[in-house]
A and B are shown apart, each in its own frame.
Chain A
Amino acid sequence: MPEEELKVTKIRQGTVIDHIRPGLAPLVLKILNIGRGFPESVIVAMNVSSTKFGRKDIVKVENQILDEATINKIAIVSPQATINIIKDYQVVEKRQVVLPEELIGIIRCPNRNCITNSPENVPSWFHTVSRSPVKLRCHYCEELVEQDEIEIYEG
Protein backbone atom coordinates (compact mmCIF):
# COMPACT_ATOMS: atom_id res chain seq x y z
CA MET A 1 0.00 0.00 0.00
CA PRO A 2 1.42 3.42 -0.96
CA GLU A 3 2.47 5.58 1.96
CA GLU A 4 -0.02 8.37 1.09
CA GLU A 5 -2.93 5.99 1.38
CA LEU A 6 -2.02 5.36 5.00
CA LYS A 7 -2.56 9.04 5.83
CA VAL A 8 -6.28 8.47 5.25
CA THR A 9 -7.94 6.21 7.77
CA LYS A 10 -9.70 3.15 6.41
CA ILE A 11 -13.41 2.83 6.97
CA ARG A 12 -15.09 -0.37 8.04
CA GLN A 13 -18.23 0.07 6.02
CA GLY A 14 -19.50 2.69 3.59
CA THR A 15 -18.55 4.43 0.35
CA VAL A 16 -15.18 5.76 -0.77
CA ILE A 17 -15.11 8.30 -3.57
CA ASP A 18 -11.63 8.21 -5.00
CA HIS A 19 -9.80 10.07 -7.79
CA ILE A 20 -11.72 13.29 -7.29
CA ARG A 21 -10.08 16.17 -9.15
CA PRO A 22 -7.68 17.83 -6.68
CA GLY A 23 -9.35 20.62 -4.75
CA LEU A 24 -12.89 19.60 -5.63
CA ALA A 25 -13.75 17.50 -2.56
CA PRO A 26 -15.83 20.41 -1.11
CA LEU A 27 -17.98 20.38 -4.27
CA VAL A 28 -18.46 16.63 -3.94
CA LEU A 29 -19.65 17.15 -0.34
CA LYS A 30 -22.08 19.77 -1.60
CA ILE A 31 -23.44 17.41 -4.26
CA LEU A 32 -23.87 14.64 -1.68
CA ASN A 33 -25.59 17.09 0.64
CA ILE A 34 -23.05 16.40 3.35
CA GLY A 35 -22.92 19.27 5.79
CA ARG A 36 -24.31 20.33 9.10
CA GLY A 37 -26.50 17.62 10.61
CA PHE A 38 -25.10 14.80 8.50
CA PRO A 39 -25.29 11.79 10.85
CA GLU A 40 -22.23 9.74 9.79
CA SER A 41 -18.47 10.18 9.94
CA VAL A 42 -16.93 11.63 6.80
CA ILE A 43 -13.22 11.66 6.04
CA VAL A 44 -11.93 14.15 3.49
CA ALA A 45 -8.44 14.11 2.03
CA MET A 46 -7.27 16.79 -0.36
CA ASN A 47 -4.27 16.97 -2.69
CA VAL A 48 -2.91 13.52 -1.81
CA SER A 49 -0.63 11.97 -4.38
CA SER A 50 -2.09 9.68 -6.97
CA THR A 51 -0.24 7.30 -9.26
CA LYS A 52 -2.82 7.88 -12.00
CA PHE A 53 -3.37 11.65 -11.82
CA GLY A 54 -0.50 13.12 -9.78
CA ARG A 55 -2.83 14.61 -7.16
CA LYS A 56 -6.35 13.76 -6.11
CA ASP A 57 -8.98 14.28 -3.42
CA ILE A 58 -10.73 11.45 -1.54
CA VAL A 59 -14.03 11.43 0.37
CA LYS A 60 -14.98 8.50 2.62
CA VAL A 61 -18.49 8.28 3.97
CA GLU A 62 -19.00 5.79 6.76
CA ASN A 63 -22.05 3.49 7.01
CA GLN A 64 -23.70 4.79 3.88
CA ILE A 65 -23.98 2.96 0.59
CA LEU A 66 -24.73 5.83 -1.77
CA ASP A 67 -27.23 5.02 -4.48
CA GLU A 68 -26.30 5.16 -8.14
CA ALA A 69 -28.21 8.37 -8.97
CA THR A 70 -26.44 10.23 -6.17
CA ILE A 71 -23.04 8.83 -7.12
CA ASN A 72 -23.49 9.77 -10.74
CA LYS A 73 -23.98 13.42 -9.88
CA ILE A 74 -20.31 13.44 -8.84
CA ALA A 75 -19.43 13.17 -12.52
CA ILE A 76 -20.55 16.80 -12.89
CA VAL A 77 -17.39 18.00 -11.15
CA SER A 78 -15.15 14.98 -11.47
CA PRO A 79 -15.88 12.65 -14.36
CA GLN A 80 -12.85 10.43 -13.62
CA ALA A 81 -13.86 9.74 -9.99
CA THR A 82 -14.24 6.10 -8.90
CA ILE A 83 -16.52 4.67 -6.24
CA ASN A 84 -15.59 1.85 -3.90
CA ILE A 85 -18.22 0.18 -1.75
CA ILE A 86 -16.62 -1.05 1.47
CA LYS A 87 -17.73 -3.88 3.74
CA ASP A 88 -15.56 -5.15 6.62
CA TYR A 89 -12.65 -2.99 5.42
CA GLN A 90 -12.76 -4.71 2.00
CA VAL A 91 -13.71 -3.26 -1.35
CA VAL A 92 -16.72 -5.33 -2.38
CA GLU A 93 -17.65 -3.29 -5.45
CA LYS A 94 -15.96 -0.73 -7.73
CA ARG A 95 -17.94 1.65 -9.90
CA GLN A 96 -17.24 4.43 -12.35
CA VAL A 97 -19.35 7.57 -12.20
CA VAL A 98 -21.48 8.21 -15.27
CA LEU A 99 -22.79 11.71 -15.91
CA PRO A 100 -26.62 11.47 -16.11
CA GLU A 101 -28.44 12.54 -19.30
CA GLU A 102 -30.46 15.10 -17.35
CA LEU A 103 -29.55 17.18 -14.30
CA ILE A 104 -32.44 18.83 -12.52
CA GLY A 105 -32.07 21.33 -9.69
CA ILE A 106 -28.35 20.70 -9.11
CA ILE A 107 -26.47 23.29 -11.14
CA ARG A 108 -27.10 27.01 -11.27
CA CYS A 109 -27.38 28.32 -14.83
CA PRO A 110 -24.53 30.81 -15.34
CA ASN A 111 -26.85 32.98 -17.45
CA ARG A 112 -28.22 35.47 -14.93
CA ASN A 113 -31.10 36.31 -17.26
CA CYS A 114 -32.22 32.67 -17.46
CA ILE A 115 -35.73 31.96 -16.20
CA THR A 116 -34.24 29.53 -13.65
CA ASN A 117 -32.51 32.49 -11.96
CA SER A 118 -35.73 34.54 -11.83
CA PRO A 119 -38.51 34.74 -9.22
CA GLU A 120 -40.62 32.47 -11.47
CA ASN A 121 -39.42 29.56 -9.32
CA VAL A 122 -38.34 27.21 -12.13
CA PRO A 123 -35.74 24.57 -11.12
CA SER A 124 -32.64 24.43 -13.30
CA TRP A 125 -32.55 21.67 -15.91
CA PHE A 126 -29.52 20.67 -17.95
CA HIS A 127 -29.08 18.16 -20.76
CA THR A 128 -25.70 16.45 -21.12
CA VAL A 129 -24.23 17.26 -24.52
CA SER A 130 -20.82 15.67 -23.93
CA ARG A 131 -19.35 13.60 -21.09
CA SER A 132 -15.68 14.11 -21.85
CA PRO A 133 -15.09 17.00 -21.69
CA VAL A 134 -18.23 17.77 -19.71
CA LYS A 135 -20.62 20.00 -21.66
CA LEU A 136 -24.18 20.69 -20.57
CA ARG A 137 -26.93 22.73 -22.21
CA CYS A 138 -29.61 24.58 -20.25
CA HIS A 139 -33.04 23.19 -21.16
CA TYR A 140 -34.51 26.69 -20.98
CA CYS A 141 -32.08 29.39 -22.13
CA GLU A 142 -29.87 26.96 -24.17
CA GLU A 143 -26.65 28.26 -22.57
CA LEU A 144 -23.81 25.79 -23.16
CA VAL A 145 -21.94 25.21 -19.89
CA GLU A 146 -18.44 23.77 -19.79
CA GLN A 147 -16.72 22.02 -16.85
CA ASP A 148 -15.05 25.11 -15.41
CA GLU A 149 -18.25 27.15 -15.49
CA ILE A 150 -20.29 24.71 -13.42
CA GLU A 151 -21.72 26.15 -10.23
CA ILE A 152 -23.52 23.85 -7.77
CA TYR A 153 -26.45 25.26 -5.79
CA GLU A 154 -25.78 25.85 -2.09
CA GLY A 155 -27.45 22.99 -0.19
Chain B
Amino acid sequence: MGQGWRGRDLISIRELDREAIEAVLTRAKEMKADTSLLRGKVMASLFFEPSTRTQLSFATAMARLGGSVIGFSGVEATSVVKGESLRDTVKMAERYADVIVIRHPLEGSARYAADVAEIPVINAGDGANQHPTQTLLDLFAIERFLGRIDGLHIGLIGDLRYGRTVHSLAIALANFEGIKLRLISPPNLRMPEKILKEELAGQVEYEEREELDLHGLDVVYMTRIQRERFPDIEEYEKVKGAYVLDLEACRQLKPEAIILHPLPRVDEIAPEVDELPQAKYFEQAAGGVPVRMALLSLILGGG
Protein backbone atom coordinates (compact mmCIF):
# COMPACT_ATOMS: atom_id res chain seq x y z
CA MET B 1 0.00 0.00 0.00
CA GLY B 2 1.10 3.54 -0.64
CA GLN B 3 3.46 2.55 -3.47
CA GLY B 4 2.01 5.38 -5.54
CA TRP B 5 3.33 7.93 -3.04
CA ARG B 6 7.02 7.29 -3.46
CA GLY B 7 8.73 10.34 -4.95
CA ARG B 8 5.51 12.18 -5.72
CA ASP B 9 4.55 15.78 -4.96
CA LEU B 10 1.61 16.80 -2.80
CA ILE B 11 0.32 20.13 -4.08
CA SER B 12 -3.47 19.95 -4.14
CA ILE B 13 -6.19 17.88 -2.57
CA ARG B 14 -7.74 17.73 -6.06
CA GLU B 15 -5.04 15.29 -7.18
CA LEU B 16 -5.77 12.76 -4.42
CA ASP B 17 -8.22 9.92 -4.85
CA ARG B 18 -9.65 7.82 -2.08
CA GLU B 19 -6.87 5.25 -2.30
CA ALA B 20 -4.13 7.85 -1.96
CA ILE B 21 -5.90 9.48 1.01
CA GLU B 22 -6.42 6.16 2.75
CA ALA B 23 -2.78 5.17 2.26
CA VAL B 24 -1.77 8.24 4.28
CA LEU B 25 -4.42 7.78 6.98
CA THR B 26 -3.57 4.10 7.45
CA ARG B 27 0.15 4.81 7.63
CA ALA B 28 -0.49 7.69 10.09
CA LYS B 29 -2.41 5.36 12.41
CA GLU B 30 0.51 2.89 12.56
CA MET B 31 3.16 5.59 12.72
CA LYS B 32 5.61 5.35 15.59
CA ALA B 33 8.76 7.31 16.24
CA ASP B 34 11.58 5.49 14.46
CA THR B 35 14.74 7.47 13.97
CA SER B 36 16.20 4.92 11.59
CA LEU B 37 13.47 5.41 8.98
CA LEU B 38 14.65 8.68 7.40
CA ARG B 39 18.17 8.85 8.83
CA GLY B 40 20.38 11.03 6.66
CA LYS B 41 17.42 12.55 4.79
CA VAL B 42 17.08 16.33 4.68
CA MET B 43 13.87 18.33 4.44
CA ALA B 44 14.08 21.91 3.12
CA SER B 45 11.45 23.94 4.92
CA LEU B 46 10.81 27.06 2.82
CA PHE B 47 8.32 29.16 4.75
CA PHE B 48 8.01 32.46 2.89
CA GLU B 49 5.46 33.45 5.48
CA PRO B 50 5.44 32.31 9.09
CA SER B 51 3.23 29.55 10.47
CA THR B 52 3.17 27.92 13.87
CA ARG B 53 1.54 24.52 13.71
CA THR B 54 2.37 23.52 10.16
CA GLN B 55 6.04 24.37 10.35
CA LEU B 56 6.56 22.89 13.82
CA SER B 57 4.70 19.69 13.05
CA PHE B 58 6.65 19.10 9.82
CA ALA B 59 9.92 19.66 11.72
CA THR B 60 8.77 17.37 14.54
CA ALA B 61 7.71 14.68 12.06
CA MET B 62 11.11 14.78 10.36
CA ALA B 63 12.96 14.66 13.70
CA ARG B 64 10.93 11.66 14.93
CA LEU B 65 11.93 9.76 11.79
CA GLY B 66 15.61 10.58 12.20
CA GLY B 67 15.89 13.13 9.39
CA SER B 68 16.95 16.73 9.61
CA VAL B 69 15.54 20.08 8.60
CA ILE B 70 17.08 23.10 6.90
CA GLY B 71 15.25 26.24 5.86
CA PHE B 72 13.73 29.49 6.97
CA SER B 73 10.53 31.00 8.30
CA GLY B 74 9.78 34.49 7.05
CA VAL B 75 11.94 36.01 4.34
CA GLU B 76 13.69 38.77 6.32
CA ALA B 77 16.97 36.89 6.75
CA THR B 78 17.04 35.35 3.25
CA SER B 79 18.16 36.28 -0.27
CA VAL B 80 14.50 36.79 -1.17
CA VAL B 81 14.82 40.34 0.21
CA LYS B 82 17.72 40.80 -2.22
CA GLY B 83 15.31 39.95 -5.04
CA GLU B 84 16.03 36.24 -5.46
CA SER B 85 13.25 34.60 -7.44
CA LEU B 86 11.20 31.69 -6.15
CA ARG B 87 12.62 29.61 -8.97
CA ASP B 88 16.21 30.22 -7.87
CA THR B 89 15.40 29.59 -4.21
CA VAL B 90 13.83 26.24 -5.14
CA LYS B 91 16.70 25.34 -7.50
CA MET B 92 19.14 25.95 -4.67
CA ALA B 93 17.14 24.04 -2.05
CA GLU B 94 16.78 20.96 -4.23
CA ARG B 95 20.54 20.62 -4.37
CA TYR B 96 20.72 20.50 -0.57
CA ALA B 97 17.68 18.46 0.35
CA ASP B 98 15.63 15.32 -0.42
CA VAL B 99 12.21 16.94 -0.10
CA ILE B 100 10.91 20.51 -0.12
CA VAL B 101 8.08 21.75 2.08
CA ILE B 102 6.88 25.17 0.96
CA ARG B 103 4.53 27.86 2.25
CA HIS B 104 4.22 30.96 0.11
CA PRO B 105 1.69 33.83 -0.05
CA LEU B 106 1.09 33.55 -3.83
CA GLU B 107 -1.53 31.11 -5.10
CA GLY B 108 0.04 28.58 -7.44
CA SER B 109 3.54 29.01 -5.98
CA ALA B 110 3.70 25.43 -4.71
CA ARG B 111 2.76 23.98 -8.12
CA TYR B 112 5.37 26.18 -9.72
CA ALA B 113 7.99 25.00 -7.21
CA ALA B 114 7.06 21.38 -7.98
CA ASP B 115 7.42 22.02 -11.72
CA VAL B 116 10.84 23.59 -11.18
CA ALA B 117 12.21 21.02 -8.70
CA GLU B 118 13.32 17.47 -9.50
CA ILE B 119 12.78 16.37 -5.90
CA PRO B 120 9.31 15.96 -4.28
CA VAL B 121 7.54 19.13 -3.12
CA ILE B 122 4.87 19.27 -0.40
CA ASN B 123 2.55 22.28 -0.33
CA ALA B 124 2.22 23.68 3.19
CA GLY B 125 -0.14 26.45 2.03
CA ASP B 126 -0.11 28.62 -1.12
CA GLY B 127 -2.06 31.79 -0.38
CA ALA B 128 -5.80 31.18 -0.33
CA ASN B 129 -5.53 28.16 -2.63
CA GLN B 130 -4.51 24.85 -1.06
CA HIS B 131 -3.19 23.38 2.18
CA PRO B 132 -3.56 19.66 1.53
CA THR B 133 -1.78 18.38 4.65
CA GLN B 134 -4.33 20.28 6.77
CA THR B 135 -7.11 18.41 4.97
CA LEU B 136 -5.37 15.08 5.52
CA LEU B 137 -5.11 15.76 9.23
CA ASP B 138 -8.79 16.82 9.32
CA LEU B 139 -9.72 13.49 7.70
CA PHE B 140 -7.35 11.67 10.06
CA ALA B 141 -9.15 13.24 13.06
CA ILE B 142 -12.58 12.30 11.70
CA GLU B 143 -11.58 8.69 11.08
CA ARG B 144 -9.71 8.41 14.35
CA PHE B 145 -12.59 9.63 16.52
CA LEU B 146 -15.55 8.23 14.57
CA GLY B 147 -13.95 5.12 13.05
CA ARG B 148 -15.05 5.97 9.50
CA ILE B 149 -15.62 8.77 7.02
CA ASP B 150 -18.30 7.22 4.78
CA GLY B 151 -21.90 8.05 5.60
CA LEU B 152 -21.16 10.92 8.00
CA HIS B 153 -23.18 14.10 8.38
CA ILE B 154 -20.71 16.97 8.52
CA GLY B 155 -21.38 20.63 9.29
CA LEU B 156 -18.96 23.22 7.89
CA ILE B 157 -19.48 26.49 9.74
CA GLY B 158 -18.35 30.11 9.41
CA ASP B 159 -16.46 31.63 6.51
CA LEU B 160 -17.13 29.17 3.71
CA ARG B 161 -16.32 31.68 0.98
CA TYR B 162 -12.68 32.49 1.63
CA GLY B 163 -11.69 29.64 3.95
CA ARG B 164 -9.36 27.32 2.05
CA THR B 165 -9.58 24.59 4.71
CA VAL B 166 -13.33 24.16 4.21
CA HIS B 167 -12.99 24.18 0.41
CA SER B 168 -10.32 21.49 0.48
CA LEU B 169 -12.13 19.40 3.08
CA ALA B 170 -15.39 19.49 1.09
CA ILE B 171 -13.55 18.51 -2.11
CA ALA B 172 -11.74 15.66 -0.33
CA LEU B 173 -15.01 14.39 1.18
CA ALA B 174 -16.45 14.06 -2.33
CA ASN B 175 -14.19 10.98 -2.65
CA PHE B 176 -16.16 9.17 0.06
CA GLU B 177 -19.58 7.49 0.04
CA GLY B 178 -22.83 8.81 1.47
CA ILE B 179 -21.47 12.10 2.80
CA LYS B 180 -24.00 14.74 3.83
CA LEU B 181 -22.79 18.32 4.22
CA ARG B 182 -24.58 21.10 6.07
CA LEU B 183 -23.01 24.38 4.99
CA ILE B 184 -23.70 27.02 7.64
CA SER B 185 -22.61 30.60 6.90
CA PRO B 186 -23.81 34.18 6.62
CA PRO B 187 -25.13 34.91 3.08
CA ASN B 188 -22.04 36.91 2.03
CA LEU B 189 -19.70 34.07 3.06
CA ARG B 190 -21.40 31.14 1.30
CA MET B 191 -19.42 28.31 -0.26
CA PRO B 192 -18.47 29.50 -3.80
CA GLU B 193 -20.96 28.46 -6.46
CA LYS B 194 -18.16 26.98 -8.58
CA ILE B 195 -17.19 24.53 -5.83
CA LEU B 196 -20.82 23.60 -5.18
CA LYS B 197 -21.66 23.04 -8.84
CA GLU B 198 -18.41 21.73 -10.26
CA GLU B 199 -17.00 19.66 -7.42
CA LEU B 200 -19.71 18.71 -4.92
CA ALA B 201 -22.91 18.34 -6.96
CA GLY B 202 -23.61 14.67 -7.62
CA GLN B 203 -20.82 13.58 -5.26
CA VAL B 204 -22.14 14.62 -1.86
CA GLU B 205 -25.55 15.65 -0.59
CA TYR B 206 -25.45 19.22 0.67
CA GLU B 207 -27.72 21.88 2.10
CA GLU B 208 -27.02 25.53 2.89
CA ARG B 209 -28.22 27.24 6.05
CA GLU B 210 -27.79 30.52 7.84
CA GLU B 211 -28.68 29.54 11.39
CA LEU B 212 -26.32 27.58 13.64
CA ASP B 213 -28.26 24.33 13.62
CA LEU B 214 -26.12 21.46 14.88
CA HIS B 215 -28.84 18.82 15.28
CA GLY B 216 -27.98 15.43 13.85
CA LEU B 217 -24.40 16.30 12.88
CA ASP B 218 -21.57 13.82 13.42
CA VAL B 219 -18.86 16.42 12.82
CA VAL B 220 -19.01 20.14 13.59
CA TYR B 221 -16.17 21.87 11.73
CA MET B 222 -15.84 25.48 12.93
CA THR B 223 -13.89 28.24 11.19
CA ARG B 224 -13.11 31.82 12.03
CA ILE B 225 -14.98 34.72 10.44
CA GLN B 226 -12.52 37.51 9.73
CA ARG B 227 -13.42 41.12 10.26
CA GLU B 228 -11.85 42.29 7.01
CA ARG B 229 -14.51 40.36 5.06
CA PHE B 230 -17.13 42.90 6.17
CA PRO B 231 -17.30 46.50 4.94
CA ASP B 232 -19.51 47.39 7.92
CA ILE B 233 -18.28 46.76 11.48
CA GLU B 234 -21.82 46.52 12.92
CA GLU B 235 -22.72 43.81 10.42
CA TYR B 236 -19.54 41.95 11.35
CA GLU B 237 -20.30 42.07 15.08
CA LYS B 238 -23.83 40.76 14.49
CA VAL B 239 -22.67 37.88 12.28
CA LYS B 240 -19.74 36.99 14.51
CA GLY B 241 -22.09 36.66 17.50
CA ALA B 242 -24.38 34.32 15.55
CA TYR B 243 -21.63 31.81 14.81
CA VAL B 244 -20.17 31.27 18.26
CA LEU B 245 -20.07 27.76 19.60
CA ASP B 246 -20.80 28.07 23.33
CA LEU B 247 -22.22 25.65 25.90
CA GLU B 248 -25.77 26.69 24.99
CA ALA B 249 -25.24 25.91 21.28
CA CYS B 250 -23.50 22.63 22.18
CA ARG B 251 -26.70 21.36 23.81
CA GLN B 252 -27.83 20.55 20.26
CA LEU B 253 -24.92 18.12 19.84
CA LYS B 254 -25.23 14.35 19.77
CA PRO B 255 -23.11 12.78 22.56
CA GLU B 256 -20.87 11.03 20.01
CA ALA B 257 -20.42 14.10 17.77
CA ILE B 258 -17.01 15.74 17.46
CA ILE B 259 -16.03 19.42 17.21
CA LEU B 260 -13.07 20.26 14.97
CA HIS B 261 -11.34 23.55 14.13
CA PRO B 262 -8.22 24.15 12.00
CA LEU B 263 -6.95 26.64 14.65
CA PRO B 264 -6.02 29.29 15.57
CA ARG B 265 -9.40 30.04 17.08
CA VAL B 266 -10.25 33.48 18.33
CA ASP B 267 -13.67 33.56 19.96
CA GLU B 268 -15.80 31.38 17.71
CA ILE B 269 -15.50 28.52 20.22
CA ALA B 270 -16.04 29.57 23.86
CA PRO B 271 -13.18 28.35 26.14
CA GLU B 272 -15.59 26.37 28.36
CA VAL B 273 -16.42 24.16 25.36
CA ASP B 274 -12.83 22.83 25.58
CA GLU B 275 -13.95 20.70 28.55
CA LEU B 276 -16.73 18.91 26.64
CA PRO B 277 -16.03 15.33 25.53
CA GLN B 278 -16.93 16.38 21.96
CA ALA B 279 -14.14 18.99 21.78
CA LYS B 280 -11.40 17.38 19.69
CA TYR B 281 -9.62 20.34 18.07
CA PHE B 282 -6.43 20.14 20.11
CA GLU B 283 -6.15 16.41 19.47
CA GLN B 284 -6.91 17.15 15.81
CA ALA B 285 -3.91 19.51 15.73
CA ALA B 286 -1.76 16.88 17.49
CA GLY B 287 -2.60 14.54 14.59
CA GLY B 288 -0.57 16.85 12.36
CA VAL B 289 2.62 15.09 13.47
CA PRO B 290 1.68 11.45 12.64
CA VAL B 291 0.02 12.54 9.38
CA ARG B 292 3.14 14.45 8.28
CA MET B 293 5.36 11.54 9.46
CA ALA B 294 3.25 9.23 7.31
CA LEU B 295 3.53 11.53 4.28
CA LEU B 296 7.27 12.03 4.60
CA SER B 297 7.88 8.30 5.04
CA LEU B 298 5.65 7.42 2.06
CA ILE B 299 7.16 10.08 -0.21
CA LEU B 300 10.78 9.52 0.78
CA GLY B 301 10.21 5.78 0.54
CA GLY B 302 11.89 4.84 3.77
CA GLY B 303 9.53 1.89 4.17
A77 partner residues in chain B, CB cutoff 8 A? none
A112 → B minimal CB distance (Å): 9
Quote the shortest CB–CB distance from B128 to chain A (angstroms).
7
B79 adjacent to chain A (CB < 8 Å): no
The answer to the question of B12 belonging to the interface, with a C-beta cut-off of 8 Å to chain A, is yes
| A-side contacts of B14, CB under 8 Å | 142
Write out the residue numbers on chain A whose beta carbons fall within 8 Å of the beta carbon of B198: 129, 135, 144
How far apart are B253's CB and chain A's nearest CB, in angstroms? 34
- Please pick, from B112, B128, B194, the residue contacting A115 in the complex, using a CB distance under 8 A: B112
Confirm or deny: B108 has a beta carbon within 8 angstroms of a beta carbon on chain A: yes
Contacts of B85 in A (CB 8 A): 120-121
A67 to B302, CA, bound (A): 50
Q: Does A118 contact B (CB under 8 A)?
A: yes
Q: Give the distance to chain B from A150, nearest Cβ to Cβ, in Å.
A: 15
If A115-B112, A121-B85, A122-B112 touch, does A144 touch B107 (CB 8 Å cutoff)? no
A115 touches B106 (CB 8 A): yes
- A138–B108 contact, CB under 8 A? yes
Nearest CB on A from B90, distance (A) = 11
B121-172 residues at the A interface, CB under 8 angstroms: 126-130
Of the candidates B12, B87, B127, the one whose C-beta lies within 8 Å of that of A113 is B127
Given that A113-B106, A114-B107, A120-B87 are known contacts, is A142 also in contact with B112, CB under 8 Å in the complex? no
Query: Is A116 an interface position by the 8 A CB rule?
Result: yes
Q: Are B107 and A113 closer than 8 Å at their CB atoms?
A: yes
Interface status of B109 (Cβ within 8 A of chain A):
yes
Interface set, chain B 93-110, CB cutoff 8 A to A: 105-109
Q: Is B37 an interface residue (CB 8 A)?
A: no
Residues of B within 8 A of A116 (CB): 108
26 interchain pairs (CB within 8 A)?
Answer: A111-B107, A113-B107, A113-B127, A114-B106, A115-B86, A115-B107, A115-B112, A116-B108, A118-B106, A120-B86, A121-B85, A122-B108, A122-B112, A129-B198, A140-B108, A140-B109, A140-B112, A141-B107, A141-B108, A141-B126, A142-B14, A142-B107, A142-B108, A142-B129, A143-B107, A144-B198
